[in-house]
Structure 1
Amino acid sequence: MCYFDHQLWPCGWWKWGNFREQCTREYRTGETCGLKLVFNTYLEPEVCRHCEQIKKKQGRVAKMHSDVHRWRAEGNRRATIEKTEKEIYELNVQIAELWGEHEVRKHAINY
């Protein structure tokens, strides 16, 4: 039961920080017993890395949707529209994966 700092973001994402204090179960200097307890929690004001990536990808998807809408009104860009719609689908899959990773990490105990 050694003590570590704990970083927490507003979205619930967290990570272990620096080692702070050794417990009485471990007698070797510089070693930890493997059990982690929170020494201090530091609330981070900005968004986490995952949320930032998700926001960027969602912005790209929104831009692509507006481009497709404009191209459909113009006409004569069927190949470009198909390619962009495929990219939109791929980005939506990536966004879903990032959200999944985010939720797993948010509710995990031992990362």
Structure 2
Amino acid sequence: MCFYNQKRFACGDWSWTSFAHRCNYEYRTGETCGMRLVNATENDKNNCRLCEKIETKYRRRSAELERLARWKREGATLVASMDRSERLILDLEKEIRALQRERDDRRSTLLR
């Protein structure tokens, strides 16, 4: 039961930060017992790394959707570019789902 500081993000996720102090159960010098307890919590106004990646992919996806809609509206003859843009949108949606699944898996394993 060694004590660590914790960082809580605006999205609700958290992470361990620095080591605070050792408990009485570990007698070896420089070793920790392996159990982590929260010493102090630092609130961070930013989102976690996964949420930031998801937001970035959403922004890129919306930009591609707007570009594709503009090309279709203007009747562009850039069929190859439109196909590439549609594939990119599908790839971005797949990456977003994978990141959301990773975030949900991480949160569900922490609650057990």
Please, what TM-score do these two structures have when normalized by structure 1? Answer: 0.90
Query: Match of 2:43?
Result: 43
Task: Provide the rounded CA distance (Å) in 1 between the counterparts of 2:83 and 2:27.
Answer: 64
Map 1:79-94; keep pairs closer than 5 Å: 79-94=80-95
**Which stretches of structure 1, 4 residues or longer, exceed 4 Å deviation after superposition?**
none
Query: Match of 1:69?
Result: 69
SS in 2 for 1:90: helix
Task: Provide the rounded CA distance (Å) in 2 between the counterparts of 1:43 and 1:107.
Answer: 21
Query: Match of 2:9?
Result: 9
Using the TM superposition, give the Cα deviation of residue 40 of structure 1 relative to its aligned residue in structure 2, in angstroms.
Answer: 0.7
Identity in percent: 35
Task: Provide the rounded CA distance (Å) in 2 between the counterparts of 1:38 and 1:109.
Answer: 14
> RMSD of the alignment, in Å?
1.5
Asked if residue 25 in structure 1 is aligned to residue 25 in structure 2, the reply is yes
Using the TM superposition, give the Cα deviation of residue 74 of structure 1 relative to its aligned residue in structure 2, in angstroms.
Answer: 2.2
Contact 1:9 1:48 (8 Å CA) reproduced: yes
Task: Provide the rounded CA distance (Å) in 2 between the counterparts of 1:15 and 1:105.
Answer: 11
Using the TM superposition, give the Cα deviation of residue 101 of structure 1 relative to its aligned residue in structure 2, in angstroms.
Answer: 1.5
Task: Provide the rounded CA distance (Å) in 2 between the counterparts of 1:74 and 1:49.
Answer: 38
Using the TM superposition, give the Cα deviation of residue 89 of structure 1 relative to its aligned residue in structure 2, in angstroms.
Answer: 0.5
Gaps of 5+ in 2: none
| Larger CA deviation: 84-93 vs 43-52 | 43-52
Task: Provide the rounded CA distance (Å) in 2 between the counterparts of 1:67 and 1:94.
Answer: 20
Using the TM superposition, give the Cα deviation of residue 9 of structure 1 relative to its aligned residue in structure 2, in angstroms.
Answer: 0.5
* Count of residue pairs the alignment pairs up: 110
Task: Provide the rounded CA distance (Å) in 2 between the counterparts of 1:16 and 1:37.
Answer: 10
Q: Deviations over 1:6-34 (max 9, x none)?
A: 11102122111111111111001211011
